[in-house]
Structure 1
Amino acid sequence: MRRATLSNPPRFTMTERAHGRVTLTADTGAVAHVFVLEDDIVRLLLLAEGRVTSPPSWAIAPGADDIAEPGRDRMNVAGFACPAFRCDEADDMVTIETARIRLAIRLHGLHCTWEQRDGPTLDEAWMPMAADRPTQAYDFGWWDGRAHHYLARQPGERFYGLGDRTGDANRAGRRFRLTNVDPMGFDAEHSDPLYKSIPYLLVADEAARCHGEFWDSTADVTVELGRELDNYHGLYRHVVAEAGDIDLWMIAGPDPAAVTRRFTWLTGRPALMPRWTLGYSGSTMTYTDAPDAGGQMQGFLDKCAEHDLGCTSFHLSSGYTSIGDKRYVFHWNRDKFPDPAGFVASYAAAGVRLVPNIKPALLRSHPAYDEVAAAGFFVADEDGVPVEAQFWDEVGSYLDFTRPEAARWWREQVGAALLDHGIEATWNDNNEYELWDARARFDG
């Protein structure tokens, strides 16, 4: 195997055609898998080192209700139709075509161009969808080993998505850091990052034709959508993941509704919420933090009755778990709430469901911390020592939900501490997982 250079990039050849997949292999050892999963979904999995370096996927669940633990193997095509497709190889090009998407790949250097049809009939014209930047679209060893993907940027393109973001809904002209933090008091126009990051874009061209782009990565990702200019490359945008592989899912449109329906089918739709979640929901930290929390909570019901306020739920802040001035998930403060089941029943009798706050981390002084650490259920370093992070009130450690035994322990606690007392739903809070320690390792 040779080393790629900018003047002599890798040369790929088609080495395998399997069920729903075409594999291209480079003379440098790099491998590109093109998955033809549906007529309107084509995926590129680029392995610059020739092997999968990403962890299993926790995002892909085609038409399913949930993802099986411990994640989905990156080569798994279960759940997809994998329709028949054309695959032509000529000169320096491989062209892969379904009824809705056509992907043309220049083999010398790996340059991809995606086109789409607005419908499945073959008399419809192919329309531009997206294209790699002509110069160095991927990192084949000439940069820093991160997962880089550069695409050409067209004037007038609009970009929507990426999860929680500030500013205009159209993300064009901005750069975003896709990691999750708990940014209390953020500026609604400029702050970045925020709580929830999803490396997904709904892209609209000047004619309002749309397609979807999803980079399936669990790493920290930077998305740049036109803020950066470089005279040597033309107009471009890029996605850079700190680790792992390029795993790009392209979804044909032609309109936002079609793309959104397909993306939510691909990654999972939310369960239908019960009717009581649609009514007025009360919530405040003040009541459960107060020494007389039980009285405060009863006072809320009394006021609702006094003023004839319809209330169907109450999001119970974490003060109900307090020991002193700190909060300990799954621990009921019996001074404030001596009879949790009775408290839940009193709210249910008033037609109000309680939705208690639970947090995915245990403080270092949590009564169960040592037990959970000994079982190996925390995110830990390579030696199995739990990684500590700043959390509410003091440092703590996060549960490793990619470890099935840890997830099972968590479900048992939810049952024993909450559901068994009559609770119907919980409020998953502080799930940003602010882990800044490079030694942290997940089981998955």
Structure 2
Amino acid sequence: MKLETTQSGFAVSICGRRVLTHSAAAPCFFVGQGNDGITMHRGHFEIEDRLAERCPLAHAEIDGETIVLAAAKGHPPRLGVTLEGNALVLRALDPSVNRFWLRLVADRDENVWGGGEQFSYFDLRGRRFPLWSSEPGVGRDKTTEITFKADAAGQAGGDYYHTYYPQPTYVSSARYALHVGTFAFSAFDFRDNSFHEIEVWAVPERIELFAAPSFVELVEILSSRFGRQPPLPEWIYNGAIIGLKDGANSFNRLTKIREEGVKVAGLWCEDWVGIRPTAFGARLFWDWQANEMRYPGLRQHIAELNSEGIHFLGYVNPYLCEDGVLFKEAEAADYFVKDASGRIALIDFGEFLCGIVDFTNPDAAAWFSEEIIGARMLDYGLSGWMADFGEYLPVDVRLANGTDARLAHNHWPTLWAEVNAKAVASRGRTGEAVFFMRAGFTGIQKSCPLLWAGDQSVDFSRHDGLVTVICAALSSGLLGNSFHHSDIGGYTSLFGNVRTPELLMRWAEMAAFTPVMRSHEGNRPHDNLQIDGDPAVLSHFARMTAIYVHLAPYLRSLSLEATRRGLPVQRPLFLHHEEDRRTYGVQDCYLYGRDVLVAPVWQASQDERKLYLPAGADWIHVWTGQSFAGGQEISIEAPLGRPAVFYRADTEFETLFVGLRGV
């Protein structure tokens, strides 16, 4: 990174690319003051800023690698900026400052990706994205009936920018990336043709810049910066993880599912802790230990499954229900987050109250890691679990280490990931036991081995259905999250919205070409079709698991590549075709590794798929063997059971891919 003085001010460049330009008439730094209003309702946040000042820092004085900025010459300095390596190190010189803005040079035709895990838009250009971990909401589209009803029923509708996993990092088509070193509320604004604006409700410690000659190298750099994940467990390649929450009957259903030819790697019973009926649907009893009434002899069942090569997975989250045994244990040890009056902060999760274990208290974090995850889960026999939630830290609570909850909120998912990772490491099972999370922020990469896309609606909707998990995988994958998957069939069923056989089958087709196949019964299991509820669906699902297992040698190579280089398993088309700008805006197709292109059917009642084949390669249609030149848009038949999948003509895995025709 280079700082240079110009005739009108200064400029900062990285690898020859100017990213900042300053003049008195057009400053790039702004500071100010504001008072936030942040309220939470069941993981949904209303956020507003009562802005008192926004001051352009027009006057700059440069001393070596340090810039001192003020509103005008002779005015008190308000911000100091020092170039250190690839970072701008910032310090507030005015203690009243609690708002910060930075404008970066933008090109009119520039594309921008990242922002954590985004569900609606892969290319962020043209929109503003607040970055605050929260429930994304139902429908996520204010123009739809389902979002309107969700908002009316419980402020739960959401919008295009809501995400469990924001991260203040973006990747530019100019082959540089920027990361803001903060946990404070921030926003990326890409609506202007000439500049990108970053907003932070604090002065960030650092703004890091990275550049590379290619997108692949840039992703490698970012994954090294944020931390690389261990390879997938070897047992994952044996088939799907079957999600059932039917008590002891889950084992009987699994037997029948396997008898129909489904390849099974694991049985996932999130209800292993018991069930609590609510108006939303069947919820779990949040007291993290085996419920022997719902699952008699569970430990023996787990041992029997293990003897057959099938692993058992459960569920946990960082909250404890008020009427559970573990709540009393944590209360006695003073392990909970407190409210403003010093009492336990109880959170309403919908007809039951929970305490938040305070992970800023080292003893509380160690207790949860060792006594709950270690002793009651790993030692009990679990090989994995959904490590759910992490977004529900209110901003009006008191934390043990004194951190302002406004700054701790976005950090909470990363702390939660660390608690899980330490438990796994303590048993020497890193890379063998796997947990999957939906919430995230900067740093989650080095702790969480597998993301999942959270709670999509059980439909084909544009902003909350099947297609959104592709965007989620691509955006998060650029930032070092190599492994991503989703609930096959979606999760959220409300207002009469239920699964169709077509949805389940199309979702399974996509999942066969992702790192992990995992089914979910959803929030209303008895209202929705399950994989074993229709013979045609089950037969189709069995074949998709056979395809997944057939591709295991290829997936294994991608898993090892992810560990060595940090490249995601699911990749945007431009990652290996960066000279073809037509690939830059594609978000409903992806590369599965370098050699396979997957174009899922994500709209209802479609048996044909239009897609663009990247230039620079010839592409072979998996099911027919027909060859297509890259650099063109095509339409291909894609009936159920034959999703639009292609492989590169020059792949070393050709024999494996040709073999798919016989699966």
How far apart in 2 are the matches of 1:424 and 1:411? Answer: 15
How far apart in 2 are the matches of 1:7 and 1:245? Answer: 17
2:312 corresponding residue in structure 1: 354
The letter of the residue matching 1:247 is: R
Equivalent of 1:192 in 138, 147, 161: 161
The letter of the residue matching 1:355 is: L
The letter of the residue matching 1:351 is: G
Residues 327, 393 of structure 1: 8 Å contact kept: no
**In the alignment, does 2:244 pair up with 1:275?**
no
1:394 corresponding residue in structure 2: 352
The letter of the residue matching 2:274 is: S
CA gap of 1:10–1:47, structure 2 versus 1, over 3 A, is farther
Compare 319-328 and 349-358 and name the one that shifted more: 319-328
2:79 corresponding residue in structure 1: 30
**In the alignment, does 2:265 pair up with 1:312?**
yes
1:45 corresponding residue in structure 2: 89
Q: Where in structure 2 are there 5+ consecutive unaligned residues?
A: 1-30, 33-53, 70-75, 143-158, 278-283, 404-663
Q: Where in structure 1 are there 5+ consecutive unaligned residues?
A: 16-21, 37-41, 52-139
Equivalent of 1:411 in 365, 369, 380: 369
How far apart in 2 are the matches of 1:309 and 1:347? Answer: 15
Equivalent of 1:436 in 394, 414, 417: 394
CA gap of 1:424–1:157, structure 2 versus 1, over 3 A, is same
Residues 242, 267 of structure 2: 8 Å contact kept: yes
The letter of the residue matching 1:48 is: A
2:506 corresponding residue in structure 1: none
The letter of the residue matching 2:272 is: Y
The letter of the residue matching 1:225 is: F
Map 1:153-232 → 2, pairs under 5 A? 153-183=106-136, 185-187=138-140, 191-205=160-174, 210-226=175-191
Aligned-partner SS, 2:288: coil
How far apart in 2 are the matches of 1:24 and 1:43? Answer: 13
Aligned-partner SS, 1:421: coil
Q: CA deviation at 1:160?
A: 0.6
How far apart in 1 are the matches of 2:302 and 2:122? Answer: 40
1:254 corresponding residue in structure 2: 213
- Residues 373-428 of structure 1: CA deviation (Å, up to 9, x unaligned): 44343333466433333336523232232332222111111111111122222321
Q: CA deviation at 1:8?
A: 7.2
Normalising to structure 1: TM-score of the pair? 0.64
Residues 46, 245 of structure 1: 8 Å contact kept: yes
Residues 289, 377 of structure 2: 8 Å contact kept: no
CA gap of 1:436–1:150, structure 2 versus 1, over 3 A, is farther
How far apart in 2 are the matches of 1:393 and 1:254? Answer: 54
Residues 180, 204 of structure 2: 8 Å contact kept: no
Compare 362-371 and 246-255 and name the one that shifted more: 362-371
Residues 340, 421 of structure 1: 8 Å contact kept: no
The answer to which structure has the higher helix fraction is 2
CA gap of 1:376–1:147, structure 2 versus 1, over 3 A, is farther
The letter of the residue matching 1:243 is: A
How far apart in 2 are the matches of 1:389 and 1:221? Answer: 25
Residues 312, 381 of structure 2: 8 Å contact kept: no
Equivalent of 1:321 in 270, 273, 276: 273
Q: CA deviation at 1:176?
A: 1.3
Residues 399, 406 of structure 1: 8 Å contact kept: yes
- Residues 155-179 of structure 1: CA deviation (Å, up to 9, x unaligned): 0110011122133321100111212
CA gap of 1:254–1:370, structure 2 versus 1, over 3 A, is same
Give the CA RMSD over aligned residues.
3.0
1:60 corresponding residue in structure 2: none
Residues 360, 399 of structure 2: 8 Å contact kept: no
Residues 274, 285 of structure 2: 8 Å contact kept: yes
Q: CA deviation at 1:180?
A: 1.9
1:72 corresponding residue in structure 2: none
Aligned-partner SS, 2:313: strand
How far apart in 1 are the matches of 2:334 and 2:353? Answer: 18
Residues 337, 343 of structure 1: 8 Å contact kept: no
How far apart in 2 are the matches of 1:384 and 1:238? Answer: 39
Equivalent of 1:372 in 330, 335, 342: 330
CA gap of 1:182–1:283, structure 2 versus 1, over 3 A, is farther
The letter of the residue matching 1:336 is: R
Q: CA deviation at 1:7?
A: 8.0
Q: CA deviation at 1:362?
A: 1.3
The letter of the residue matching 1:368 is: L
Q: CA deviation at 1:248?
A: 1.0
How far apart in 2 are the matches of 1:184 and 1:420? Answer: 36
The letter of the residue matching 2:222 is: F
Q: CA deviation at 1:25?
A: 5.2
Aligned-partner SS, 2:208: strand
How far apart in 2 are the matches of 1:249 and 1:381? Answer: 35
For this pair of structures, how many residues does the alignment match? 322
Normalising to structure 2: TM-score of the pair? 0.44
How far apart in 2 are the matches of 1:159 and 1:339? Answer: 52
Q: CA deviation at 1:211?
A: 0.7
Residues 272, 294 of structure 2: 8 Å contact kept: yes
Aligned-partner SS, 2:178: strand
How far apart in 2 are the matches of 1:7 and 1:421? Answer: 59
Aligned-partner SS, 2:254: helix
Q: CA deviation at 1:266?
A: 0.6
Aligned-partner SS, 1:312: strand
Residues 14, 23 of structure 1: 8 Å contact kept: yes
